[in-house]
Amino acid sequence: MGAHRQSPSPSAPDAEADAARDALVREIVARGGLTDPAWRAAFAEVPRHLFVPFFYVHGIGGYERLGAEDADPGRRSRWLHGVYADGALATWLKDGELVSSSSQPSLMALMLDALDVRDGHTVLEIGTGPGYNAALLAHRLGAPAVTSVDLDPEITESARGHLAAAGYHPTVITGDGALGCPERAPYDRIIATCTLPSVPRSWPEQCRPGALILAPLATGLVLLEVRATAHGPRAEGHFLHTPAYFVPLRGALPLSDGLPHLGGLPRRVAGDDLFRFLLTLTAGTLDPHEALSLWEREGRPQRERYGITVGQGRQWAWLDDPQGPYTWPLASGR
C-alpha cells in the first residue's frame, strides 16, 4: 500500500475530542506518569487528533485505514478513540512497510520526563513522525527552541501542516537524522523516536557540555550525558528500566538481521524479555550460550544495569561499569 498524504482534519467534535484527551491524561497520571505539571499541561492541551487524522490497524488481508474523513460514524468513533488510547499508531506506510508512527503516549511522557528539559533549553528531535512529539516540546519550551528532523519529505511536509493547524511552528527539516542538524547546533537535549543500531557520533559533537541524549537502542532507552574531554565529546549513561520498540532510524547503519539462532536454549529464557534485550545489545559479539551464562551468573540483570559509552571514535555497551569485565563493542555511528 502506498503512502497517503496526511492533511489536518478538525472534523472530530471538539467536546468528544476534549473528553477523550482528558481521559488519556488521567490514565497516564493514574499510572504514575506526567508528574511534571508542565508536561501534564502539554498533554492536556495539544490535540493529538490533529496530528493523526488517520492511522492503520491490522485487518483481514492487510492494513485497515481509519480516519476522521470516514463517512461511517462508527468508524470515525473508532478513529477518535484510537487516537486517544494509550497505544502506538501506524501513521505512514510505503509499499506495505511501516515507516512512521505516533508513539504510545505514556511512553512519550516517560521519555520527555527523563529528558529533564529546563526553560531556555534547545532540543533536537530525530524522527518527526506526524509532529505530535514536536508539538509537545514546542508547548513546553517554545517553538524556536525545537528542531525536528526526518528523512522523508512527505513526512516532514505533512508534519508541518499538522503543527501549523495546531498552532505550533518549530523548525522541521528534511534530512538524515543520523547526521543531526549542525546548522541549528549546539543543543541541550537530543531525543530520538526511532530505534538505533548505535549512537551517531555527530550527535554528541552537536551538543553542549552537560547535554543529554535519549534514544531507543536494543529494545531499551539509553540516556547519555555529554561531557567535554581533551579528546572531544564523550557521551555515557545507563538504560532506563522500561522496554521500548520503535520504527528503525532510516539513514543510519543497518540494524542487525535479528537475534542469533536460539536453538538449544531453554524456552523459558529464550522468550524472556530481559534476556532477549541482552542478546540484541550484544548481537554479533556474544554467543547466545555465553550470554545465558553471564545473564544467570549476574542475577538476570534489569535494563538499568546496562549502559553505553561513546567517545574517541568508538562506542561500547557494558554491564555495571564501562571499564568493567563485561563490555561489548558497538558499530560506531556515522
At residue 178, what are phi and psi to the nearest 5 degrees?
Answer: -65, -20
Indicate which residue of 100, 101, 103, 198 is catalytic: 100
Residue 148 designated active-site: no
Q: How far apart are CA 317 and CA 207, in angstroms?
A: 21
CA-wise closest residue to 198 among 21, 104, 333 = 333
Alpha-carbon Rg for the chain in angstroms: 20
Cα 214 from Cα 258, distance rounded (Å): 23
- 89-94, strands of its sheet edge to edge: 62-67, 54-59, 89-94, 97-102
**Phi/psi at 274 (5° precision):** -70, -35
CB atoms within 10 A of CB 65: 17
Q: How far is CA 15 from CA 20, 188, 281, in A?
A: 9, 37, 45
Selection from 178, 232, 183 nearest residue 205 by Cα: 232
- Cβ–Cβ < 8 Å for 197, 253: yes
DSSP string, 14-64: HHHHHHHHHHHHHHHHHTT---SHHHHHHHHHS-HHHH-SEEEEEETTEEE
What are the grid coordinates assigned to 176, written together? 538524515
Q: What is the 3-state secondary structure (H, E, C) of 4-20?
A: CCCCCCCCCCHHHHHHH
Q: CA 331: distance to chain centroid?
A: 20
Q: Which residues are catalytic?
A: 100
